[in-house]
Structure 1
């Protein structure tokens, strides 16, 4: 891994919190992701399943974590099964976790090689009544591929059909949505790397540059700061491309007078950052661009103030919608009749601001969080209002990552990243 080793007390604490919510005489299993093939002998870069990583810090393929807090054998209450390493693997693939290194990483004392899994699991399953399986229940999930976790769950249920089945995901949704201070520090590192990439761009961007060249500058800066790269597919959208919300081809030339919408973020230690900035190709905003930009920035600032403990997700979005409606009226994009005659299920402002304002962020860019429950201290949310005007061939979105505080306004992990019109113009023209 490129990142520095994480203090294992984070993973020890996470397992303790999870096991505290398990039913009596129950066992939970978590699997690594597969390494996915492309074709021939090519594979995609490995991405660890965030749940086993959250609970163990293990960041390699073919790994299984088992939690069994009521196990009669104390040394079987936490178990890691790992792909057995050897000198041959070390030469051809690089060093894998030894049993000693796995303990240093995770704090799990009992580590077996994967070849012993079925034998050990038989013993464990004779001692428990309920097995927790790990399914993906994120509200945005749309998975067509059968994962390693899916295959393991199928095998487990077929081999042990008499056991009761429970779900890990509701427990993880709550636990993962509230961040430990160590996690917040890791997210701050990701945001700091993103800041370095953005400042690099402010010196680089000029008329004639291509969107993919901007992407390359960011990747360069991210990699040289111990990131694997982008936390998600980057959006680098010049001119009218900004009005395509998930524009990712990044293959057009940036022209003088255009704005570039940059929705990009570095990862660090599997934790995401998520930033959006909108900058002028030529280094200066036009009068109209500045009006729209400042309107979006105003909504972002006011929306941020609402991210406090106890805030209701649905009500929050209604309030932000009212703020945006006011700005769109001022910009003469809407008139009073548009608002008076609006469809309450799709308010008038949605013509120019059609997506949500905030989402949980953490190990996943769209992280776990139960949106029907009030916001809590140490949850981390994005704030990302936008105004998209195809008829004027530009769009503006601004986004930061904010930590909800016990009292007062949230803490902005991106507070050092330039955002004001004057800041951006001064840096681009210095």
Structure 2
């Protein structure tokens, strides 16, 4: 891994929090992701399943975590099954986790090779009544590919059909949404790397540059700071491309007078950051661009203040809609008649601001969190309002990542990343 070793106390604590939520005489199983094929012998670079990483810190393929807090054998209350390494694998693929290294990473003392899994699982399953399976229940999930977790679940339930079945997802949704201080520090590191990339491109952008060249500059800066790269597919959208919310082609030339909307951020140690900024290709905003930019910035600043413990996500977005409506009236994009006759299910402001303002962030860019439950301290949210005006040839989005505090305003993890018009212009023209 490129990142520095994470303190195993994070994963030890995460497992304790999970197991206290389990039913008596129950066992939970978590699998790593597959290495997915492209064709021939080509594969997609490995990305670890975030749940097994959250609970163990193990960041390699063909790994299984078993948690059985009531197991009669104390040594079987936490088990890792790993792919056995050997000299051949070391030569062709590089170092894999040894049992000693797995303990250092995870704090789990009992480590078996994967070849022993079925024999040991038979013993464990005779000693438990309920098995927790791990299904993807994220509100944005749309998965067509059968995962390694899916295959394992099929095998387990077919072999042991008499067991009660419970779900890990509701427990993890709640646990993962509230961040440990170590996690917040890792997200901060991702944000700091993102800042370095953004400052780099402020000095690079000029009329005639191509969007993909900007992408390359960001990737260079991310990699040289121990990131694997982008936390999500980067959006570098100049001119009217910004009005396509998930524009990812990044293949247009940036023209003088246009704006570039960036939605680009680094990961670090599998933790995401999520940044949006909109800058002028020529280094200076027009009066109209500046007016719209500052309107979006005011919405962001006011929306941030609303992220406090006890707030409901749906209510929050209603309030942000009111703030945005006021700004759109000020810009002349809406008039009072538009607001008076608006459809409550699709308010007038949605013509120019059609996406949500905030989402949970952490190990996933759109992280776990139950949106119908009140916000809590140490949840990390994005704040990302935007105004999109195809008729004027530009769109503006501004986004920071913040940590909800017990009292007062959220802490902005991106407070050092340039955001004010004057600072951006100064840096681009220095």
Normalising by structure 1, report the TM-score. Answer: 1.00
Q: Say which SS state the counterpart of residue 250 (structure 2) adopts.
A: coil
- Name the structure 2 match of 1:30: 30
Separation in structure 2 between the aligned mates of residue 322 and residue 307 of structure 1, nearest angstrom? 15
State the shift of 1:24 in Å. 0.2
- Name the structure 2 match of 1:393: 393
State the shift of 1:312 in Å. 1.1
- Name the structure 1 match of 2:136: 136
Q: Does residue 1:11 correspond to 2:46, yes or no?
A: no
- Gaps spanning 5+ residues in structure 2: where? none
Matches within 5 A, 1:293-312: 293-312=293-312
Separation in structure 2 between the aligned mates of residue 190 and residue 31 of structure 1, nearest angstrom? 25
State the shift of 1:74 in Å. 0.1
- Gaps spanning 5+ residues in structure 1: where? none
Separation in structure 1 between the aligned mates of residue 147 and residue 118 of structure 2, nearest angstrom? 19
Q: Say which SS state the counterpart of residue 236 (structure 1) adopts.
A: strand
State the shift of 1:182 in Å. 0.1
State the shift of 1:260 in Å. 0.1
- Name the structure 2 match of 1:116: 116
Considering only aligned residues, what root-mean-square deviation do their CA atoms show, in Å? Answer: 0.3
- Name the structure 1 match of 2:231: 231
Q: Say which SS state the counterpart of residue 79 (structure 1) adopts.
A: strand
Q: Say which SS state the counterpart of residue 66 (structure 2) adopts.
A: strand
Matches within 5 A, 1:176-325: 176-325=176-325
Separation in structure 1 between the aligned mates of residue 425 and residue 399 of structure 2, nearest angstrom? 18
Q: Say which SS state the counterpart of residue 262 (structure 1) adopts.
A: strand
- Name the structure 2 match of 1:365: 365
Task: Point out 4+ residue stretches in structure 1 off by more than 4 angstroms.
Answer: none
State the shift of 1:87 in Å. 1.0
Matches within 5 A, 1:18-57: 18-57=18-57
Separation in structure 1 between the aligned mates of residue 321 and residue 81 of structure 2, nearest angstrom? 49
State the shift of 1:362 in Å. 0.0
Separation in structure 2 between the aligned mates of residue 15 and residue 315 of structure 1, nearest angstrom? 33
Q: Does residue 1:407 correspond to 2:410, yes or no?
A: no
Normalising by structure 2, report the TM-score. Answer: 1.00
Q: Say which SS state the counterpart of residue 162 (structure 2) adopts.
A: coil
Q: Say which SS state the counterpart of residue 401 (structure 1) adopts.
A: strand
Q: Say which SS state the counterpart of residue 166 (structure 1) adopts.
A: strand
Cα offsets for 1:256-314 (capped at 9, x unmatched): 00000000010000000000000000000000000000000000000000011111111
- Name the structure 1 match of 2:418: 418
- Name the structure 1 match of 2:375: 375
Separation in structure 2 between the aligned mates of residue 315 and residue 64 of structure 1, nearest angstrom? 40
Separation in structure 1 between the aligned mates of residue 422 and residue 310 of structure 2, nearest angstrom? 35
State the shift of 1:172 in Å. 0.1
